[in-house]
């Protein structure tokens, strides 16, 4: 049985860990709230942008613009993988990495070569150990600089697609559903999936008016669209990360509470046992003395 | 006029406006254009400038928008722009100074790259529309 001192030390250490986790939970909650508000505001914009682009793409021929080109062969796949920089967010990264690994295995049957680029340290740390070709790597992305990062990434990725360095670009990130639920999503960024929009496109290109002409519009909205989708994925991923961290810290705090309760019980029992032993000693001692006096 | 237009003004930060309007005038890149109910499908790039629209409740409204695009389809106009501002909240004097500065810079950059000039041109247009010029 551990000594009383050992138990008090342990309780103290669990208490201080609990305090840290409690603070982290509060920080995550505040950041989640902010990120969620920004995400909810960003979603209508990016969705509307996607609708416009898909609409224009549906009315265009693949020859109209290099970014609309549909590669004849699926050779090079480029996946942009969003994870977090830091840990202590439960199974957030491990679940992402597990799904990613499976996806890479599936796609390697279709594509000749697969390249991974990373936003977030955790994903890169895992995949840089080998097995998959790795491309660009970004770290330190947060809500404030996501626009700048996404612009840089978008420029690089569109250029790569334009010159034929990749035949398909996919975004892999956690889609934020709610504070307790996030869903891993694989979204094809380029080439645009034009076919999906066919059923809604009742108008033909002849009765749609474009100002300036269609080719110039495509030239300016497609790169922007790529940037918007990447920024959206960043925001989704960041919000999901904060949510995952908050949940993880909440669980950790309540676990710590349980441990503290158990240790306190153990402490009380041990103390009681010691008192009982001491009492027994005293009683035994006086018994012995009385017997000795009688004789 | 029985039918109405639905106008949505969306920026990355928020849904600025979503409601019914009677008509609107937007700063298209090929010139200012007006939209009334029953307009044919239309997609236009926008310059930074002033967007005007008329609603039943509040009459004439003006917003400064920072470029973007306008999509007109099925009596719904979606304006997607980087940012929008209320003209009444703008500091006109500063905006005017900015406009002058940008104009000067642009004049000096005659042989700079097209993308650089475009960027500056956009800034200049924003400053001008803020100054109400």
* Interval B74-101: pLDDT, tens: 899 999 999 998 888 888 888 888 888 8
Note the ipTM here: 0.86
Contact assignment for B42 to A217 by CB distance below 8 Å: no
pLDDT at A204: 55
- The predicted-structure confidence for A33-58, as pLDDT tens digits, reads as follows 999 999 999 999 999 999 888 888 88
| A293 confidence band (pLDDT: 50, 70, 90) | low
Residue A155 has pLDDT above 70, yes or no: yes
The C-alpha of A236 sits at a distance from chain B's nearest C-alpha, in angstroms, of 14
Contact assignment for B45 to A231 by CB distance below 8 Å: no
Closest CA to A38 of B2, B13, B63, B15: B13
Contact between A93 and A123 under an 8 Å Cβ cutoff? The reply is yes
Residue A119 has pLDDT above 90, yes or no: yes
Q: How far apart are CA B19 and CA B10, in angstroms?
A: 12
DSSP B39: P
- The predicted-structure confidence for A193-244, as pLDDT tens digits, reads as follows 655 444 444 445 557 888 888 888 888 888 899 999 999 999 999 999 999 9
Minimum-distance CB partner of A217 among B10, B11, B43? B43
Q: How far apart are CA A118 and CA B114, in angstroms?
A: 32
Query: In terms of CA atoms, which chain B residue is nearest residue A224?
Result: B68
Closest CA to A120 of A12, A281, A244: A244
Work out the average pLDDT over B14-28: 91
Query: In terms of CA atoms, which chain A residue is nearest residue B71?
Result: A52
**By mean pLDDT, which of A6-10, A105-109, A158-162, A291-295 is the weakest?**
A291-295
Q: Which residues of B touch A207 (CB under 8 A)?
A: 40-41
Work out the average pLDDT over A245-257: 94
**By mean pLDDT, which of A99-108, A113-122, B25-34, B120-129 is the weakest?**
B120-129
Minimum-distance CB partner of A211 among B10, B30, B80? B30
pLDDT at A196: 46
Share of chain B above pLDDT 90, in %: 38
Residue B55 has pLDDT above 60, yes or no: yes
Q: Which residues of A touch B8 (CB under 8 A)?
A: 48
Element (H, E) at A276: helix A214-294
pLDDT at B4: 85
Query: Is A55 an 8 Å CB contact of chain B?
Result: yes
DSSP A184: E
* pTM (2 d.p.): 0.86
pLDDT at A77: 92
């Amino acid at each position: 049985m551990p000594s009383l001192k050992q138990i008090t030390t342990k309780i103290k250490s669990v208490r201080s860990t609990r305090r840290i986790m409690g603070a982290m939970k509060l920080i995550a909650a505040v950041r989640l709230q902010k990120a969620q508000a920004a995400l909810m505001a960003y979603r209508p914009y990016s969705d509307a942008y996607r609708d416009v682009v898909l609409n224009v793409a549906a009315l265009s021929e693949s020859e109209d613009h290099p970014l609309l080109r549909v590669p004849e062969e699926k050779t090079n796949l480029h996946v942009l993988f969003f994870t977090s920089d830091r840990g202590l967010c439960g199974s957030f990264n491990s679940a992402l990495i597990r799904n990613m690994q499976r996806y890479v295995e599936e796609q390697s049957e279709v594509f000749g070569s697969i390249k991974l680029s990373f936003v977030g340290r955790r994903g890169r740390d895992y995949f840089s150990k080998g097995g998959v070709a790795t491309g660009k790597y970004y770290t330190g992305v947060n809500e404030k600089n996501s626009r700048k990062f996404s612009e840089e990434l978008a420029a690089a990725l569109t250029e790569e697609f334009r010159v034929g360095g990749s035949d398909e670009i996919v975004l892999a990130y956690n889609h934020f559903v709610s504070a307790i639920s996030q869903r891993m999503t694989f979204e094809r960024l380029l080439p645009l999936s034009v076919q999906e929009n066919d059923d809604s496109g009742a108008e033909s290109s002849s009765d749609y008016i474009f100002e300036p002409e269609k080719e110039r519009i495509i030239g300016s909205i497609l790169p922007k669209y790529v940037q918007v989708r990447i920024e959206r994925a960043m925001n989704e991923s960041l919000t999901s990360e904060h949510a995952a961290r908050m949940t993880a810290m909440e669980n950790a705090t309540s676990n710590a509470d349980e441990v503290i309760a158990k240790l306190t019980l153990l402490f009380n029992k041990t103390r009681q046992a010691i008192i009982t032993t001491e009492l027994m000693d005293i009683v035994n001692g006086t018994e012995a003395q009385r017997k000795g006096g009688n004789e | 006029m029985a039918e109405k237009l639905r106008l949505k003004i969306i920026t990355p930060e928020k849904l600025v406006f979503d409601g019914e309007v009677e008509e609107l005038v937007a700063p298209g890149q090929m010139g200012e254009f007006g939209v009334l109910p029953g307009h044919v499908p239309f997609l236009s790039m926008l310059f930074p400038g002033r967007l005007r629209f008329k609603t039943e409740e509040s009459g004439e409204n003006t917003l400064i928008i920072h470029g973007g695009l306008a999509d007109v389809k099925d009596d719904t106009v979606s304006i997607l722009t980087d940012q929008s501002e209320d003209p009444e909240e703008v500091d006109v004097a500063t905006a005017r100074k900015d406009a002058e500065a940008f104009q000067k810079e642009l004049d000096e950059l005659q042989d700079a790259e097209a993308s650089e000039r475009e960027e500056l041109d956009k800034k200049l247009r924003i400053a001008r529309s803020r100054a109400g010029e």
